[in-house]
């Protein structure tokens, strides 16, 4: 697997997500845009998101700052954080112009996780 394969996969996955979102928003796909969680479910999700932010964003940022003088570690965590920042900014822009629902937050979390996994795979490869 090369960086081209990783990039192609990211583009195709993004296009599929956009297509499914568009087909859902115009009513062709019978998928509910909102999920009615119980209060306990919402509390669990809030805690889960805070943990995901702490583990996926804060810990790598601290690691990046602490080990900045080591080029290999700086490269890995720098690219990882760059992917996360691009994904978060992109999601915020798309959610302003696209479908507005509370589901966007869960979608964002899923995308961040997926892109972070792809970034890790791409970073660990020899170019």
pLDDT tens digit sequence for 6-51? 778 878 887 887 888 788 778 887 776 666 778 888 888 888 888 8
Q: What is the pLDDT of residue 110?
A: 58
Q: In the predicted model, is pLDDT for residue 94 greater than 60? A: yes
- Residue with more model confidence, 13 or 108: 13
Q: Say if CB 80 and CB 124 are below 8 A apart.
A: no
Determine the structural domain holding residue 79 and report its residue range.
3-123
Q: In the predicted model, is pLDDT for residue 56 greater than 70? A: yes
* DSSP state letters, 6-40: HHHHHHHHHHHHHHHHHHHHTTSS---S-----HH
Task: List all residues 6 or more positions away from 44 whose beta carbon is below 8 Å from its beta carbon.
Answer: none
Domain count for the chain, please give it: 1
């Amino acid at each position: 697997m090369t960086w081209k394969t990783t990039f192609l996969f990211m583009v195709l996955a993004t296009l599929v997500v956009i297509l499914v979102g568009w087909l859902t928003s115009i009513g062709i796909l019978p998928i509910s845009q909102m999920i009615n969680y119980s209060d306990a479910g919402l509390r669990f999700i809030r805690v889960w998101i805070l943990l995901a932010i702490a583990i996926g964003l804060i810990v790598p940022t601290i690691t990046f700052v602490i080990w900045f003088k080591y080029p290999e570690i700086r490269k890995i965590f720098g690219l990882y954080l760059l992917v996360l920042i691009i994904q978060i900014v992109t999601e915020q822009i798309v959610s302003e112009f696209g479908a507005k629902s509370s589901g966007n937050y869960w979608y964002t979390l899923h995308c961040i996780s997926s892109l972070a996994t792809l970034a890790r795979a791409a970073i660990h490869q020899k170019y």
